[in-house]
Amino acid sequence: MDMTSPQAAGAAQTDIAVEITGLDKWYGSFHVLKDIGLSVRAGEQVVICGPSGSGKSTLIRCINQLEQHERGRIMVNSREVGPKVRDMHEIRRDVGMVFQHFNLFPHLTVLRNCTLALTRARGMARREAEAVARHYLERVRIPEKADKYPSQLSGGQQQRVAIARALCMNPKVMLFDEPTSALDPEMIKEVLEVMTRLAEDGMTMLCVTHEMGFARKVADRIVFMDGGCIVEEAPPATFFDAPKTDRARLFLSQIL
């Protein structure tokens, strides 16, 4: 499966997909992200975990500027992103995002959900866009739902459509914000399978998730956050079997 052949070409140009340095963010007086530094190579899969309120979602939402940071520097595909960047919408086209609550467009069919940004943001012809969309719906194994509306799908199917929708834009980086947290247990597996295949194809991925089985199997690196800081960063084997910090040990003892 080559979901990501164009990504391989992108990787040749630059090795670093996301580079975050000295990132600070406040919600009012609440210091939600504290001096974050994180670098993600093209083709790397990074899982971000940590207790709720630790700032993990906020961190990945800063990468495509759904949240704006106050201090520090974020480079995405070698372009700086931030509140003052005027062509943010162009940079976002190369950064796919999958949300906890899917956020599919309920008034549009599955197919149109997938083609909307292709035709409107990329200016692709409708027919060509539909071919791309059907290709990715095939990849997430629900080509037969193309003409349904989101409400006619199960949660797991909706999330797979959301993944297909993001992939249609041929992103260089994929952000996953707790993609399985709103799903019934029996639907989590089908979504994780799609994500695992995506990772195997070499997609650059940043995933905020509590699915530690997925993290251990797929991630190149685990980033553990607490209180707005990155507390520990390690390969999965090291992180799960021999965490260095007490905070990570406590977290793992509660979650596993």
Partner 1 sequence: MSFLAILAGIFEGFGVTATITFYGMLYAVPFALVFGILQHFTAGPARVVVTSIIEFWRSSPVIILLFVFYYSLPSFGITLSGITVGAMALGLNIGGYGSQSVRAALQALDPGQVEAGRALGLRRLQILALIELPQAFKAMTPTFINQFIQLIKGTALVSLITLTDMTFRAKEISQLQYNPVGTYTALLVAYFLVCYPATIFGRWVEKRVSIEGRGQRDL
Binding site for partner 1 (CB under 8 A): 64, 66, 89-93, 95-97, 99, 101-108, 116-117, 120-121, 149-152, 155, 165-166, 169, 182
Bridge partner residues of 38 (DSSP): 20
> Using alpha carbons only, what angle is made at residue 178 by residues 136 and 138, rounded to the nearest 5 degrees?
10
CA atoms of 198 and 193, how far apart (whole Å): 9
Nearer to partner 1, 167 or 219 (CB): 167
Q: How far is the CB of 104 from partner 1 (least distance, A)?
A: 7
In 99-220, beta strands by DSSP E: 173-177, 204-208
Sheet holding 221-226, edge to edge: 95-98, 173-177, 204-208, 45-49, 221-226, 229-234
118 is written with which tokens? Answer: 């292709």
Cβ of residue 142: shortest distance to partner 1, in angstroms?
16
| Token code pair at residue 58 | 């906020």
Query: Of 130 and 233, which has the nearer Cβ to partner 1?
Result: 130
Shortest Å distance, C-beta 235 to partner 1: 29
Report the residue number, 182 or 252, with the smaller CB distance to partner 1. Answer: 182
CA of residue 205 relative to chain centroid, distance: 6
Helix (H, G, I), strand (E, B) or coil at 232: strand
Q: Min. distance of Cβ 252 from partner 1 in angstroms?
A: 29
> Cβ closer to partner 1: 109 or 238?
109
Q: Closest CB to partner 1 among 39 and 154?
A: 154
Measured on CA atoms in the order 32, 178, 114, 46, is the torsion positive or negative?
A: positive
Q: Closer CB to partner 1, residue 50 or residue 150?
A: 150
Minimum separation from the CB atom of position 237 to partner 1 (A): 32
C-beta of 153 vs 212, nearer to partner 1 = 153
> Which helix (H) or strand (E) segment is 13 a member of?
helix 5-13
Shortest separation between residue 121's beta carbon and partner 1, angstroms: 5
Tokens of 64: 């495509």
- Residue 178 DSSP SS3: coil
Using an 8 Å Cβ cutoff, are 240 and 67 in contact?
no
d(CA 197, CA 189): 12
Q: How far is the CB of 165 from partner 1 (least distance, A)?
A: 7
DSSP state, residue 184: -
